[in-house]
Amino acid sequence: MLRLAAGSHPGWVRENNEDAYLAERLPGDDRWLIAVADGMGGHRAGEVASWLALATLRERLLEGAGLADAVCAANEAVFRRQADDPRLSGMGTTLTAAVVGPGGAVQLCHVGDSRAYLLRQGELARLTRDHSLVEEFVRSGALTEQEARRHPQRNLLTRAIGTEATVPVDEATVQLKPADVLLLCSDGLSEALPDARLAALLVQQVTGEDLGAGVEILIQAALDAGGADNITAVLARWDGEDS
Ligand code: MN
């Protein structure tokens, strides 16, 4: 089975929490859904965008849609909502979502700069590539990873849910092995904690019964590092088929 834990904190600077997440076993189903959305937009539009995206995603999955189609439906829903309501104009959200099937088979879909990581035998690997300007600069060699972390335009996205009528969705599949851990998080966590620090914290915290303590420790570490943004983390540990 898949063991789940999740949490979110507004951080020390922002008044609202525009991040949202899902972490559940889908009702009447042998599948689990985990997702993180980091909304953007003035007033409370960011919250509308992230929650609408997740609600649409979940609804479509329960109706039998595939994950990528459900993500496209989420894009349409957010895009249409802001066309209908000028107060929400300019809103959008990231969306990183995974469906885990009964044998530990993971389908992953991703748009934006939230992230999915896989911790396997103490090694942390990124499963997603940020759709951000600085990520493109890092890939082209124009910026180092460290420079990107401090770049003034580091929050500029090249893709988001709800900002255009259609959006290209990155897709990946992973086969989980027993004791593997998936981490989905918003940039409030990954910007505060470099991968090496994240890996060190995860290795210490995700093996016990209480996965929730692992989430709390990650969020606390991001708060201690400044807490400049909303912080969200979802942990999912595959304990094997029969456990
Ligand atoms: Mn954020």
Residue ranges and CATH numbers for the domains of the chain are 2-238 (3.60.40.10)
Residue 11 has pLDDT above 90, yes or no: yes
- Gap from CA of 22 to ligand 1 centroid (Å): 16
- Cite the beta strand spans of 48-207 per DSSP E: 92-93, 95-100, 105-111, 115-120, 123-126, 170-175, 181-185
pLDDT, tens digit, for every residue of 183-224?
999 999 999 999 999 999 999 887 777 899 999 999 999 999
Indicate if the pLDDT at residue 241 is higher than 90. no
CA of 232 to the centre of ligand 1 (A): 9
Q: Compute the distance from residue 207 Cα to the ligand 1 centre, in Å.
A: 27
- What's the pLDDT score for residue 112? 98
Q: What is the pLDDT of residue 92?
A: 97
Residue 242's pLDDT is what? 66
The two three-digit tokens of residue 16, written as one number: 């609202």
> 39 alpha carbon to ligand 1 midpoint, in Å?
7
Q: Average pLDDT of 48-56?
A: 98
User: In which band, very low, low, confident or very high, does the pLDDT at 155 lie, cut at 50, 70 and 90?
Assistant: confident
* DSSP class of 132: B
pLDDT of residue 207: 74
Count of CB atoms within 10 A of residue 145's CB? 11
**243 pLDDT higher than 60:** no
Q: What is the pLDDT of residues 104-135, one digit of tens each?
A: 999 999 999 999 999 999 999 999 999 999 99
H/E element, 85: none
Q: Considering only CA atoms, give the Rg of the chain.
A: 17
Residue 93 zone, left/alpha/beta (φ > 0; ψ -120 to 50; rest):
beta
Tell me the CA–centroid distance for residue 19 and ligand 1, in Å: 7
pLDDT band at 149 (very low <50, low <70, confident <90, very high): confident
How would you class 220 by CB atoms within 10 Å of its CB: exposed for 0-12, middle for 13-18, buried for 19 or more?
middle
Which of 73-77, 98-102, 143-147 has the least mean pLDDT? Answer: 143-147
Q: What's the 186 CA to ligand 1 centre distance in angstroms? A: 6
**Cβ neighbours for 89, distance < 8 A, ≥ 6 positions apart:** 45, 82
pLDDT confidence of residue 28: 83
Q: Phi-psi bin for 133: left (phi > 0), alpha (psi -120 to 50), beta?
A: alpha
Tell me how crowded residue 3 is: count the other CB atoms within 10 A of its CB.
17
What's residue 165's pLDDT?
A: 96
Average pLDDT, the chain: 94
| Exposed / middle / buried, residue 212 (Cβ in 10 Å: 0-12, 13-18, 19+) | middle
* Span from the CA of 80 to the centroid of ligand 1 (angstroms): 23
